[in-house]
Amino acid sequence: MATLILPCAGKSTRFKNIRPKWSLTHPYGELMLVQGIKGLELDKYDKIIPVFLKEHLDDFKLREGVIESFNKLNVKYEILELDTPTKSQSETVARTIEAFNIEGDILIKDCDDYFDSEYTEGNTVCVCSLHEVNKIIAKNKSYVQINSNNLIETIVEKSVISDLFCCGGYNFKDAQEFLKTYNKVSKLDNEGEIYISHIIYQQLLEGKKFTIKQVSNYEDWGTIEDWNEYLNTYKTIFTDLDGVLVKNSGEYFGHKWGTTEALKNNVDHINKLYDTGRVRVIITTSRKSSYKKQTLDQLDKLGIKYHSIIFDLLHCKRVLINDFAPTNNFPTSTGINIPRNNNNLEEYF
């Protein structure tokens, strides 16, 4: 039996003046929390338990949205609501184990990051190498040292003792043993924050063995700066067709709609962005929808990649209006104008 615990009962002090960070909207439309667990083999867990502050669910009217989000995952889950904030992630986990009398394997997963990982049992720490990430705030992480058998020799908080940092996934083979260790550590230090790394360190001292699990595609959303920088890697592109992706054409004179050749450099640039999986390409055109077949045939023939297309725009200036907020920083929309039939779109965008 394995249980996935998602601790979200802290105060989110690094995300000030906005709703709890776990509830922010990912570019794919999911809650940060839900998107953050999609790299796991969720069907391997008997139960998923997200843990929230009742105050957050009430004040921000999040309860219904949380239930809807987890229903879409088609997994067995149960929500735990706490009346008071916890001092640490470890305390949140301990109170969850007590509330549900959990036994057996547990995976504790941070709400503010993402990684891909296969299901793992036993005492395991998910790690990533500093050499495999583009940018993280190294001083905010915990680090492990391992021996030649991938067994963890020590784990420390906020000190770079190796290139392997803990990336937000901690597996314990015995939930009740976790609870026992937490209670022991909290008696030794009931004032400071007790990190998961402290629980692991204590168990290492007691002779328990922990291995590492190297994960892939790690994304760090720990601060609002991290989150905004990550959001900026996603874009929805509205691109004109005639004069941008294909040589200009018209309905009544010159080359007819659907007959012109591609502006190859521009098409290659758009296709490359499409292939990142982080770009939504929407073609906009003043071509009449009566020319839909000719247009779609042309796009297919020229290998132009896109997600959707909008016909029947007016043949005039186009204005894009978008909102911005603390969770979606200004400016949220950008207009780019290039000379007709210019084949150097990449220089402009």
pLDDT tens, position by position, 253-303: 889 999 999 999 999 999 999 999 999 999 999 999 999 999 999 999 999
The least confident of 169-173, 196-200, 302-306, 328-332 is 328-332
**What percent of the chain has a predicted confidence (pLDDT) above 70?**
97
CATH classification for the domain delimited by 2-223, as one of 3.90.550.10, 3.30.70.120, 3.30.420.40, 3.30.70.20: 3.90.550.10
Give residues with Cβ within 8 angstroms of 242, minimum separation 6.
248, 249, 250, 257, 260, 285, 286, 287
Amino acid at 20: P
What six digits make up the tokens of 208?
């328990």
227 CB neighbour count, 10 Å cutoff: 23
CATH H-level, domain 234-348: superfamily: HAD superfamily/HAD-like (3.40.50.1000)
pLDDT greater than 80 at residue 18: no
pLDDT greater than 80 at residue 195: yes
Closest to 157 (Cα-Cα) out of 187, 207, 123, 202: 202
Closest to 221 (Cα-Cα) out of 107, 132, 109: 109
Going by pLDDT thresholds of 50, 70 and 90, the confidence category of residue 12 is low
Assessment of whether the complete model's pTM goes beyond 0.85: yes
Is the Cα dihedral 187, 192, 196, 198 positive or negative? Answer: negative
- In whole angstroms, how large is the CA radius of gyration of the chain? 25
What six digits make up the tokens of 52?
């929230």
Distance of CA 152 to CAs 170, 178, 199, 200, Å?
A: 13, 17, 13, 10
97 burial type by CB count under 10 A (0-12 exposed, 13-18 middle, 19+ buried): buried
Amino acid at 57: L
d(CA 234, CA 277): 9
Domain ranges of the chain: 2-223, 234-348
CA atoms within 13 A on the CB side of 35: 19
What six digits make up the tokens of 70?
């987890």
pLDDT score recorded for residue 11: 67
Say if CB 224 and CB 15 are below 8 A apart.
yes
d(CA 201, CA 2): 22
Measured N-to-C along each axis, helices 196-205 and 175-188 cross at an angle, to the nearest 10 degrees, of 100
The distance of Cα 128 from the centroid of its chain, to the nearest Å, equals: 16
